[in-house]
Amino acid sequence: MHAAVSRLSLDEKISLLTGDSFWTTRGVEHAGVEGAVLTDGPHGVRLQTGSADHLGINDSHPATSFPTAAATGSTWDPELLEEMGEALGRESRALGVDVLLGPGVNIKRSPLCGRNFEYFSEDPLLAGALGAGWVRGLQAQGVGASLKHFAANNQETERMRVSAEVDERTLREIYLPAFERVVKEAEPATVMCAYNRINGTYASEHRWLLTDVLRDEWGFDGYVVSDWGAVSNPPAAVAAGLALTMPAAGPRHAADIRAALDRGDLDEAAIDLAVSRILTVHDRLRAARGETPAVDHDAHHALARRIAAESTVLLANEDGILPLSADEGSIAVIGEFARSPRYQGAGSSHIQPTRLDAALDAIREVAGDVSFAAGFRLDGEADAALVDEAVAAARAARTVVLFLGLPAEDESEGFDRTHIDLPRVQRDLLDAVLAVNERVVVVLSNGSVVSLDGIVGRVPAILEMWLGGQASGSAAADVLFGAAEPAGRLAETIPLRLADNPAHVNFPGSPKKVVYGERVYVGYRWYDRTEREVAFPFGFGLGYTTFELTDVAVSVPDAGRAHAVVEVTVSNTGARDGAEVVQVYVGDPEASVDRPVRELRAFRKVRLAAGESTRVRLELDERAFAFWGETGWTVEPGAFTVEVGTSSRDIVATTEIELDVPPVVPELDLESTIGDWQRHPVGRGVLEGALAAQGGASAAIFADPEISRMMESMPLRTMLGFGGEVDGTAATEALLAQV
């Protein structure tokens, strides 16, 4: 317990459970309690200068606007995210920020989520690894992270009251692992609870989530803070394990806490514990700080530029059209986004950048006086004159670089998209340009996937740059002209159609409820299991050089333990330096439950010079083979497939291994089926003996395979009670006693 708790009155302790203002916590001078400053991230420090708001409406101090998580997810590079976290930490310190709200590690369940630009991936392993790197970098500077939004927060529609109806296996395998990894590996100072309900209970009041899982299972040692305005019942939130309600909740918050104490619904010990956690975390952060570092905004801009290039995914490059040559001939740059960059999302993470690079300016620095035509209006209104101007520029040029993407009003915190199409004016512009010049490079700016129907197969080169931050314009020029490699790989599948998405029929749900009916089949897990064609698979990305993965070896040091070692030789077989991402997937074809065909279980980004090779070693731990079963994480004995590749569809080697781990023995109860009894090492013998003693038809159940299979799913008590002559429940209880 923090020493200051004993020096505080009850009223003072209650006052510390909510903010002092929109962005600060309360201090108590006589007890030595200092207030703290919390502010929005996660891709920049949004410290507001005037009146406070949570939607990015009002001004904030200039700060580096780094690439959004939609972009950085495609880096597949936790170390690079750690560098970004360090820079965010330095800027936070310079602005007096104690806790930066981020990172967001929610899973991209649907491409329609309006806040997908703040989230890394559709895969929890990748999201967790990147989030852990971000947190390590930030907290090394003495600034606390706030891991968000915990949990099952995967849409903006009705986000403050919708109940995510999701089974525990799906939570454990898809929606919780990224949080678990960050908590265990990076020890974030705070975790932010989400707005939504989970199976009917608000996340802010969910004791199983905030205490049983987060603290007791995972060992979380920080404090839980609410999303701004997420607490509807302060006493229930404190009892569940939430410590800090934000923003300042006023006298009503204190009155509700007091009333709950008087009724006996809340114990003062819970208040003491919450206050102690808040003060302990803030003291720990301050103790870790040295002198406030000077911020080199030029260096941070250069870092943002490097990260943007590392995030860029080259989706197509027919005939090696990219990289362009500065002297290859006339170039027409078309698209308003080249002049007016779309570089970040709207809402609480909106940053006032320290500077902003336009791609048009950066391209002209490299290639000279290229022509430019806006081509379309950002408001989506058709403008024939702009199209005519673009067509004239395209006709006169050898190469067209066409900037397309989603306008800001199409994706934001607070609402979801209704489709994944590019605006009609942009699609019409593409058709008009292709009619006069087929040598077109499309550069995309968007915070979540868009349909590439009408683009793929019609243009020779496509660069997906996401929302790449304030230096994305310069990064675009770097990648277009080969000063930087397009080193990104897709962190989410690009479907052919929105209707192919596994959550399509359930998203965003009915009023106040959304059913996660696709269960564990999110993203590539669904597309691969159903063998659906996709535009581009999870993990995909081209480069300006070529790589080869050879000599794959998978070893199992001890078959009695769920552990394997994967080794592969990675060779840069091209003429340029570059990077490749080695991806390891595991499948369990003999599982007793339905499982995805393959799941990402390890990865490594490898940078090699032209002609260079290296041997990569990756380890698969117990969780790599496990599913969430009735008794928790479960690894069953038998065969597993270990696949090595460069996407979920580009597998270069498949190895089958055998694990001789102890079999899982399910516990028998009154609901157990005949099949459960047959599979139980003790129960089978007990049941066979009992049926043999009865003789007649009962004894034939195990002897006749056809009858045995027909009866397998019937509860034993039901079978024993047929005819009403025997009390099936009592008979089953007697057999359970023998077991």
Give the pairing of strands 190-193 and 144-150. parallel
pLDDT of residue 702: 64
Give helix then strand counts, H and E, for the chain. Answer: 22, 26
pLDDT tens digits, one per residue of 291-328: 888 999 999 999 999 999 999 999 999 999 999 998 87
Gap between the terminal Cα atoms of the chain: 47
pLDDT tens digits, one per residue of 385-406: 999 999 999 999 999 999 999 9
Phi/psi-derived region of residue 163, left when phi > 0, alpha when psi is between -120 and 50, beta in every other case: beta
Q: Which of the residue ranges 29-43, 135-149, 418-432, 715-729 would you say has the lowest mean pLDDT? A: 715-729
**Residue 116 three-state SS:** helix
**pLDDT exceeds 90 at position 703:** no
As a residue count, the chain comes to 739
Q: What span, in angstroms and rounded, lies between the C-alpha atoms of 470 and 298?
A: 12
Q: Which of 41-50, 66-75, 666-675, 692-701 is the most confident on average?
A: 66-75
pLDDT of residue 701: 65
**pLDDT exceeds 60 at position 107:** yes
C-alpha angle 512-514-515 in degrees, rounded to nearest 5: 140
CA-nearest of 418, 440, 423 to 332 is: 440
CA-nearest of 691, 646, 631 to 546 is: 646
C-alpha angle 692-695-697 in degrees, rounded to nearest 5: 110
pLDDT tens digits, one per residue of 62-78: 999 999 999 999 999 99
pLDDT of residue 248: 94
Please, how many CA atoms are within 13 Å of residue 467, restricted to the half-sphere of its CB? Answer: 30
pLDDT of residue 719: 80
Q: Mean pLDDT over residues 654-669, rounded?
A: 91
Q: Determine whether 709 is exposed, middle or buried from the number of CB atoms within 10 Å of its CB (0-12, 13-18, 19+).
A: exposed
Q: What span, in angstroms and rounded, lies between the C-alpha atoms of 339 and 376?
A: 12
pTM flag (> 0.85):
yes
- 102-123: b (≥16 Cβ within 10 Å) or e: bbbbbbbbbbbbbbbbbbbbbb
Whether the CB-CB separation of 321 and 440 falls below 8 Å is answered with: no
- Predicted confidence band at 170 (pLDDT cuts at 50, 70, 90)? very high
pLDDT tens digits, one per residue of 83-94: 999 999 999 999
Q: Determine whether 55 is exposed, middle or buried from the number of CB atoms within 10 Å of its CB (0-12, 13-18, 19+).
A: middle
Asked about 227 being catalytic, the answer comes back as yes
pLDDT tens digits, one per residue of 640-652: 999 999 999 999 9
CA-nearest of 459, 486, 488, 462 to 475 is: 486
Share of the chain above pLDDT 70, in %: 98
**pLDDT exceeds 60 at position 696:** no
- Predicted confidence band at 697 (pLDDT cuts at 50, 70, 90)? low
pLDDT of residue 679: 81
- Predicted confidence band at 699 (pLDDT cuts at 50, 70, 90)? low
Helix (H) or strand (E) holding 692: helix 683-694
Q: Mean pLDDT over residues 32-45, rounded?
A: 96
pLDDT of residue 698: 61
**pLDDT exceeds 80 at position 347:** yes
Q: Determine whether 66 is exposed, middle or buried from the number of CB atoms within 10 Å of its CB (0-12, 13-18, 19+).
A: buried
Residue tagged active-site, from 40, 123, 227, 588: 227
Q: Mean pLDDT over residues 478-488, rounded?
A: 97
Q: Mean pLDDT over residues 443-448, rounded?
A: 97
pLDDT of residue 49: 83
Q: What span, in angstroms and rounded, lies between the C-alpha atoms of 552 and 331?
A: 44
pLDDT of residue 711: 76
pLDDT of residue 653: 98
DSSP state letters, 511-577 = TTEEE-TTTT--THHHHHHTT--EEE-TT--B-SS-EEEEEEEEE-S-TTSS-EEEEEEEEE-SSS-
Q: Which of the residue ranges 56-70, 139-153, 202-216, 229-243 would you say has the lowest mean pLDDT? A: 56-70
Peptide bond before residue 151 is cis, with ω within 30 degrees of 0: yes
- Predicted confidence band at 196 (pLDDT cuts at 50, 70, 90)? very high
Q: What is the DSSP letter of 118?
A: G
Q: Which residue has the tokens 């317990």?
A: 1
Q: Which of the residue ranges 150-164, 548-562, 686-700, 707-721 would you say has the lowest mean pLDDT? A: 686-700
C-alpha angle 286-137-128 in degrees, rounded to nearest 5: 120
- Predicted confidence band at 381 (pLDDT cuts at 50, 70, 90)? very high
Q: What span, in angstroms and rounded, lies between the C-alpha atoms of 208 and 713?
A: 31
Share of the chain above pLDDT 90, in %: 84
Residue 406 token pair: 């989603």
Whether the CB-CB separation of 598 and 528 falls below 8 Å is answered with: yes
Whether the CB-CB separation of 134 and 81 falls below 8 Å is answered with: yes
pLDDT of residue 724: 67
DSSP state letters, 133-202 = HHHHHHHTTT-EEEEEEETT----TTTTT-EEE--HHHIIIIISHHHHHHHHHH--SEEEEPSSEETTEE
- Provide the sign of the torsion angle of the four alpha carbons 289, 181, 530, 618, taken in this order: positive
pLDDT tens digits, one per residue of 541-578: 999 999 999 999 999 999 999 999 999 999 999 999 99
User: How far is Cα of residue 245 from the mean position of the Cα atoms in its chain?
Assistant: 25
User: How far is Cα of residue 64 from the mean position of the Cα atoms in its chain?
Assistant: 23
Q: What span, in angstroms and rounded, lies between the C-alpha atoms of 702 and 691?
A: 9
**Mean pLDDT (the chain, rounded):** 94
Helix (H) or strand (E) holding 708: helix 705-711
Q: What span, in angstroms and rounded, lies between the C-alpha atoms of 383 and 33?
A: 60
pLDDT tens digits, one per residue of 492-509: 999 999 999 999 999 999
Q: What span, in angstroms and rounded, lies between the C-alpha atoms of 126 and 111?
A: 17
pLDDT of residue 34: 96
Please, how many CA atoms are within 13 Å of residue 527, restricted to the half-sphere of its CB? Answer: 24
Residue 228 token pair: 């701004």
Q: Which of the residue ranges 164-173, 182-191, 198-207, 343-352 would you say has the lowest mean pLDDT? A: 343-352
CA-nearest of 415, 442, 345, 424 to 377 is: 424
CA-nearest of 664, 598, 587 to 631 is: 664
pLDDT of residue 180: 98
